[in-house]
Each structure stands twice: as C-alpha cells, then as structure tokens.
Amino acid sequence: MGILIFMRNLLLVLCLFLVLGFLYYSAWKLHLLRWEDTKYDHLGFLLKLDSRLLVELAAKYANFTEGVCKPGYASALMTTIFPKFSKPAPMFLDDSFRKWTRIRNFFPPFGVKGQDNLIKAILSATKEYRLTPALDSLSCRRCIIVGNGGVLANKSLGSKIDDYEVVVRLNSAPVKGFEKDVGSKTTLRITYPEGAIQKLEQYEKKSLFVLAGFKWQDFKWLKYIVYKEKVSASDGFWKSVATRVPREPHEIRILNPYFIQEAAFTFIGLPFNNGMMGRGNIPTLGSVAVTMALHNCDEVAVAGFGYDTSTPNAPLHYYETIKMSAIKESWTHNIQREKEFLRKLVKSGVITDLSHGI
C-alpha cells in the first residue's frame, strides 16, 4: 500500500514539473515570437537596415571587382530585409498568362481579369515574351532604371548609365540632346498610352517598347498599335495618346502586372480597395520598374529618382524648365510612401542611387 502511495505522489510531482516546463517553454516561445515581430515593420521589412545580417551578406560579395556583376546580389539582399520576397516572376506576359493565379483574379492595373481576348490577340502577333537572346544568355545582369527627375541635370552620369547591361527608361523622357547626363543606351522603354512618345523622330533607334497596362483601354490601344490600326481618340484616355509607335510586333512587350500589384500592396502598403484602382493606391512607374528589376536583375540601380519639394526653384524634370513648385498632390499616387519604400532599398544596399535623389 505504501508503495502505491509513493508512486502516486511521484507521478503527481512529475506531472507538475511537466506542466511547469510546458508553461515556461510556451512563455519563452511567445517572448521569442514577440522579439521576432519587433525586428520588422508592419509591412515585413527589417527595421534595422544596417544590421549584422546585411554586413555579413555584403562580405560574401566583397571579393568581386568593382564593376563586375554580382550574381543574385539584389535578390539576396532583398530577401534579407524582406523575408517574404520570392524572386520568380517573369518580366513580361507570355501565352501562359491565364494560368498565373496572382494576376488572373485582379482587374487592371493589378491583373488581367477581363483582358484575355485582347492580350491573346496581342501576343499572337508579337510572339516574343523575353528580352533579347543576347541579354537572356547572360549569367549575370546589371539593370538601371532611369527616372525623369531634375536631379539628373548636370550630373554627367551618362557614361555610367550606359555601362549597365539593361537600361530602362520611362514614358516619353528624351535621350537625344541629354546624353551627357542620361546616357544614350535604351534597352526597354516602359510606358502607357498617355505617357508614350508621340513624335516618331524622338524614339531611339533600337529598344523594346513595353506597355504597363493601368486600365482596359490601354490593352485595346496596344492592340491598335501592334496591328497598325487606327487609334480612336475617344477610347477613355485622359489626354492625347500616340497613334503610332515605330516598332515591329516582335519588339513590343506587355509588362507583367504583378509588379504593379506587388509594388502597391506588398512593398509600399497602399490601400487595397478590394483590388481595384482607387485614390492613392497606384504606384508610380518608377517604383513598378524597380520592382520588376528586383525579380529579373542581379544588380539594380536607379538615377533621376526623387523630388525635393524643399527646393521649389529646382527643375522638376531634367528635360524642361518647369520648376519643382509646379508639383501637385496626386490623386492616384502616394509619393511619401513611395519615398519610404525606395529609401529602405537604398539604405540596405538592395539598389544603388547614382544621382542621390532618394
């Protein structure tokens, strides 16, 4: 009988220790999770962007000679500061676009819902869905997105910009006459109907023409351009649009709208608005192009980014005399939040800002 009582008491003690051990372990795990949560901001970006993790990662690439492309550098840094980052995302739409669930269930500009027939007709004519064979064959690609900001003026960055394998330009920003500051090379020109160059002679001789579709009319417009049909001015555009683009169908691409979606909701944190276009939830083309480059380039740089509203007499764009004071609050964009996003990338070394405007 005494043995049974002893065994009962021993089991009770063991159970008590197990319960206390479980409670202690749970409290430790909860504390650890809370500590982990405090390492990241509400979007998921690392708060301490100059942390030891970044230093250690940069050290792995320290043996590379300056100017030599570092394979996987931008995406490795991006994953360090934003663990949710997933690299695979094709640059352009191809004939399998309807299978990609990330964009299939969203209307433009965040997806392709309702645009199947138009996109299919465009792709059946272009028949090209990648960069050039020469660029695709590179084991490492350095890309630069050239913005239109006045910060580029008199910086003499042209030769540095032209050193990059992929040079991305936006909308109608001119090159001719500004080569010293902005370079002469253009690999891609990303635009939408209202932003496209209207004077044929202003196009560079050789580059890919890339549509960023923000509304269904944009895809309809591109179909007119690809098939060299007459563009209707009454198709819901907010300003006059180009009626011709001096490119053959195989030189035309459609930007993957996932980059607009990811820039807006994942990286910048703009209002979701049920996945529909609304006030202040459209990222600028510059941030969209940076997002595209993070997925498709080993190193990423920018130039001509940033608007310093504290200098009202500074030029707004590098190619015209309009002053910074002319900038107005945008209905579609949230410039302040975009600055915060881009500054995270610059501070952590994910991207390089050649003109130091961000």
Alpha-carbon torsion angle 225, 227, 228, 230, nearest 10: -80
Q: What is the pTM of this model?
A: 0.86
Cβ atoms 45, 82 nearer than 8 A: yes
pLDDT tens digits, one per residue of 66-123: 778 999 999 999 999 999 998 789 999 999 998 888 999 999 999 999 999 999 999 9
| pLDDT the model gives residue 20 | 53
Question: Quick check: 151 and 134 in contact, CB under 8 A?
Answer: no
Tell me the C-alpha to C-alpha distance, in Å, between residue 261 and each of 205, 238, 244, 284, 285. Answer: 31, 22, 28, 12, 12
pLDDT tens figures, 223-252: 999 999 998 766 778 889 999 999 999 999
Q: The dihedral of CA 6, 10, 16, 17: what is its sign? A: positive
| Lowest-confidence segment of 37-41, 185-189, 308-312, 320-324 by average pLDDT | 308-312
Integer Cα distance of 171 and 189 in angstroms:
7
Cα Rg of the chain (Å, integer): 25
Rounded to whole angstroms, how far apart are CA atoms 188 and 206? Answer: 9
- Joined together, the tokens standing for residue 111 give 């997806």
The four Cα atoms 154, 155, 160, 165 give a dihedral, to 10 degrees, of: -80
Distance of CA 32 to the CA centre of its chain: 32
Query: Does domain 68-353 match CATH 3.10.450.40?
Result: no
List alpha helices for the chain, DSSP H.
2-37, 52-60, 73-81, 101-104, 116-126, 133-136, 158-162, 179-182, 216-226, 258-261, 285-296, 335-347
DSSP codes of every residue in 267-304: II----GGGS--TT----HHHHHHHHHHHH-SEEEEES
9 pLDDT band, cuts 50/70/90, is: low
What's the confidence (pLDDT) of residue 37? 55
The Cα-based distances of 58 to 53, 76, 105, 150, 176 in angstroms read: 9, 10, 38, 31, 37
Name the least confident of 218-222, 275-279, 298-302, 352-356.
275-279
Quote the pLDDT of residue 313: 83
Which pLDDT score is estimated for 178? 96
* φ and ψ of 300, to 5 deg: -130, 135
pLDDT in the model for residue 96: 92
- Least confident piece of the model among 49-53, 144-148, 157-161, 308-312: 49-53
Whether the per-residue pLDDT at 16 is higher than 90: the answer is no
As a whole number of angstroms, the distance between CA 41 and CA 338 comes to 15
Average pLDDT over residues 316-340: 85
- Lowest pLDDT segment from 46-55, 259-268, 273-282: 46-55
DSSP state, 46?
Answer: B
Residue 32 pLDDT greater than 50, yes or no: no
Q: Does the bond joining 315 to the residue before it have cis omega, within 30 degrees of 0?
A: no
**What's residue 122's pLDDT?**
98
Place of tokens 């915060």: 340
- Average pLDDT estimate for 335-351: 94
Rounded to whole angstroms, how far apart are CA atoms 171 and 195? 5
Look-up of token digits 């299978």 = 99
Confidence band, pLDDT 50/70/90 cuts, at residue 321: confident
Tallying the residues shown for the chain, one arrives at 358
Mean pLDDT of the chain, nearest integer: 88
Tokens standing for residue 113 = 């819902």
Q: Which of 12-16, 69-73, 108-112, 282-286 has the lowest mean pLDDT?
A: 12-16
pLDDT in the model for residue 15? 57
Rounded distance between C-alpha atoms, residue 108 and residue 216, angstroms: 6
pLDDT over 60 (residue 341)? yes
Q: What gap in Å lies between CA 67 and CA 85, rounded to an integer?
A: 26
Which residues, listed in sequence order, are joined to residue 146 by a DSSP beta bridge? Answer: 169, 303
Share of the chain above pLDDT 90, in %: 68
**Measured distance CA(327)–CA(176) in Å, rounded:** 25
- 48 falls in which pLDDT band (50, 70, 90)? confident
Provide the residue ranges of all domains of the chain, joining segments of one domain with +.
68-353
Express each pLDDT in 298-320 by its tens digit. 999 999 998 877 788 888 899 98
Q: How far is CA 12 from CA 5, 15, 17, 25, 341, in A?
A: 11, 5, 9, 20, 56
34 pLDDT tier (thresholds 50, 70, 90): very low
